[in-house]
């Protein structure tokens, strides 16, 4: 059975549930998939990430990208057996989609690059989003920023409440 975008969003939500709840930050999960070589039948999961998974006040989308870049060529060949070496993660990322439970951030006050910028810089084609970022902390313009840079933004409907409830885990 081919995985649907909602299946990948559900996996991203599983990642979000791994976050250590925080009163001052959202709990977000992200899954990075790639269809490679282009035209392959099935997207393959490259990496997953969640908020604060990597040291520092890190975000889900950036963490998934960092983890994808840590894959060795041998690991990439295992993930993409039909691709011929040399395989570069940059090329694969240009055929990748990112799923995130919440709209990628457009502003960071911590000094780290916003996730929208990281997604754009990686050359990712499509961004599937579970729910928009509410204005709890900052006014988020991530989706607009992505679209302006030519990334296709797809709002998935049906899991907004779950995505938001998990995002706000630390703040009841
Ligand atoms: Zn972010």
**For range 33-37, the mean pLDDT:** 95
**For range 26-49, the mean pLDDT:** 94
**Which 3 state secondary structure label does DSSP give 50?**
strand
Considering 61, 78, 160, 162, which one is annotated as catalytic?
61
Q: Within a domain: residue 142? A: yes
**Which 3 state secondary structure label does DSSP give 121?**
helix
**φ and ψ at residue 142, rounded to 5 degrees:** -60, -45
CA distance 85 to 12: 29
Q: Name the residue with tokens 């998935």.
A: 156
Q: Within a domain: residue 172? A: no
Q: Within a domain: residue 54? A: yes
Q: Within a domain: residue 71? A: yes
Query: pLDDT, tens digit, for every residue of 87-144?
Result: 999 999 999 999 999 999 998 877 788 999 999 999 999 999 999 988 888 778 999 9
Range of the domain at 108: 5-167
In the predicted model, is pLDDT for residue 51 greater than 90? yes
CATH number at residue 128: 3.40.140.10
172 is catalytic: no
**Can you give the pLDDT at residue 111?**
79
Name beta bridge partners: 163.
Answer: none
- How much distance in Å is there from the Cα of 113 to the middle of ligand 1? 8
- How much distance in Å is there from the Cα of 106 to the middle of ligand 1? 7
Q: Within a domain: residue 95? A: yes
Count of structural domains within the chain:
1
Q: What is the pTM of this model?
A: 0.95
Q: Within a domain: residue 20? A: yes
**Can you give the pLDDT at residue 153?**
97
**For range 39-56, the mean pLDDT:** 94
Q: 19-50: b or e for each residue (b if 16 or more CB lie within 10 Å)?
A: beeeeebbbbbbbbbbbbeeeeeebbbbbbbb
Confidence of residue 172 (pLDDT cuts 50, 70, 90): low
Mean of the per-residue pLDDT values of the chain: 94
- How much distance in Å is there from the Cα of 40 to the middle of ligand 1? 30
- How much distance in Å is there from the Cα of 83 to the middle of ligand 1? 31
Q: What percent of the chain has pLDDT over 90?
A: 81
């Amino acid at each position: 059975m081919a995985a649907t975008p909602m299946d990948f969003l559900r996996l991203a939500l599983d990642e979000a549930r791994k976050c250590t709840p925080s009163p001052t930050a959202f709990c977000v999960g992200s899954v990075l998939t790639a269809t490679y070589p282009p035209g392959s039948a099935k997207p393959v999961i490259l990496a997953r990430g969640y908020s604060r998974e990597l040291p520092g006040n890190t975000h889900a989308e950036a963490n998934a990208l960092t983890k994808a870049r840590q894959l060795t060529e041998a690991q990439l060949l295992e993930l993409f057996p039909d691709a011929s070496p040399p395989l570069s993660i940059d090329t694969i990322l240009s055929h990748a989609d990112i799923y995130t439970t919440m709209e990628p951030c457009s502003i960071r006050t911590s000094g780290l690059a916003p996730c929208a910028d990281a997604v754009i810089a990686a050359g990712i084609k499509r961004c599937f989003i579970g729910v928009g970022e509410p204005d709890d902390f900052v006014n988020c313009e991530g989706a607009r920023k992505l679209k302006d840079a030519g990334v296709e933004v797809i709002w998935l409907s049906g899991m907004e409440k779950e995505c938001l409830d998990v995002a706000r885990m630390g703040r009841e």
